[in-house]
Amino acid sequence: METFVNKPKVLSNNKVFSFPLNMMTFHQLWGVVTPKEALRKLKEVRIKCENPRNFEEWALDKIGQELYDLFIYGYTKKQWLKEPSLLPSSIIQRLPIRLTYEENYFTTKYQSMPKEGYSKLVENMLDGIDVKLEEDFFKLDWEKIANHLVYSGEVDSFFKHKYGSLEYNTLKFEHKKFKGDYQGNAVFNHVDINVPYLRSIEHKHFKNSYLKHYTLNENEDETIVSFDIPISYEENPEPFYPIRDEKNSNLYSQYFNLKKMLPNVTFGGRLGEYKYLDIDQTIASAMTKAKNLLRAK
Ligand code: UDP
């Protein structure tokens, strides 16, 4: 594994800020230095809401209008193609807000990337396994070839949209090559609404060893940068994120009841569980399910 700690930066109107919101961000914006000063300011700017009913009310209650407009509104509207007031607060509750100078996005004990990347990791896991690609699963009679099915596609498609369609959100990626160091960091969030992409990811910064290249000479090596571009699900029906608002959660609970009636099918992943899972949660869930399957054998 390659040690990697994610410390994204936000680019807002040509200014760079530390992110997720932490003491450095509050310092950059308000000039406050101590957690006490930052807390005082946050208490002053928050727009109190006893029972936040949606994303926007929750965010304004915690951080107030200025931070919300600067870091959250544009990015969220771009990503979800919806007004944040129409989104569930669970989406924004994923984001840490810190009164320390800690810039690490995550607090998990182990943080690293597969040494040769995820493609190689998956390739190795599938070594010796018969993989069929470009097959339409729904045209297969899987029960003729397997006793048990692990299904990680959209749960509503599995049941032929019996109760209606769940909503998903999607992105497309554009990969570009540049010379040298494009942005000096693995991840930049682009929060301005007029910038068409959400994030730019410069892959070489995932390698911790890259830090050793620190030099005052310009590095002219090739670099690859991927841009996440929001696109509507109708244009690109490849689902990435479940939209777990009240309407979709209610619909999903109907599919959940159907799932329970199929002991020979294991549903997994963001789409099979209709949950906004992070990769560590997805892997943990897959491992638990695999153990349970082996135990039941
Ligand atoms: N978000 C934001 N500004 C940012 C980063 C995130 O407003 O610069 C909001 C956005 O609504 C996003 C949510 O916070 O959907 C959760 O962000 P996270 O980085 O966890 O999303 P993911 O890693 O799944 O893309």
Residue nearest (by alpha carbon) to ligand 1 atom 19: 95
CA of 240 to the centre of ligand 1 (A): 14
- Does residue 216 lie in a domain region? yes
Query: Does 42 lie in the same domain as 163?
Result: no
Using most ligand atoms within 8 A of CB, pick from 91, 104, 229 the residue to mutate for ligand 1: 91
Torsion region of 31: left, alpha or beta (phi above 0 gives left; psi -120 to 50 gives alpha): left
Q: What is the pLDDT of residue 77?
A: 95
Residue ranges in the chain modelled with pLDDT below 70: 209-217
Q: Nearest residue CA, atom 17 of ligand 1? A: 95
Q: CA 53, CA 66: separation in Å to the nearest integer?
A: 20
In a domain, 222, yes or no: yes
The amino acid at 195:
V
154 in the same domain as 259: yes
> What is the domain extent for residue 174?
169-231
For the Cβ of 59 lying below 6 angstroms from any atom of ligand 1, the answer is no
Residue 243 in contact with residue 168, Cβ under 8 Å? yes
55 lines ligand 1 (CB under 6 A): no
Task: Give the per-residue pLDDT at 215.
Answer: 64
Q: Does residue 72's CB lie within 6 angstroms of at least one atom of ligand 1?
A: yes
- The DSSP string of 7-33 is --EEEETTEEEESSS-HHHHHHHH---
Cβ–ligand 1 distance for 271 under 6 Å, the answer no
Ligand 1: distance of its center to the CA of 198 in Å? 9
Q: Are residues 273 and 251 in the same domain?
A: yes
- Predicted pLDDT of residue 149: 96
User: Which pTM was predicted?
Assistant: 0.91
Give the distance (Å) from ligand 1 centre to CA of residue 7. 14
Predicted pLDDT of residue 296: 83
> What is the per-residue pLDDT for 214?
55
Residue 34: per-residue pLDDT: 98
CA–centroid distance for 156 within its chain = 21
Burial of 155 (C-beta count, 10 Å sphere; 0-12/13-18/19+): buried
Q: Looking at the structure, do residues 76 and 87 belong to the same domain, yes or no?
A: yes
pLDDT of 297 = 76
Model pLDDT, residue 221? 84
Residue 196, in any domain of the structure: yes
Residue 77's H or E segment, with its range, is helix 74-80
Instruction: Find all residues with CB under 8 Å of 203, minimum gap 6, and list them.
Output: 186, 223, 224, 225, 226
Atom of ligand 1 at shortest range from CA of 79: 15
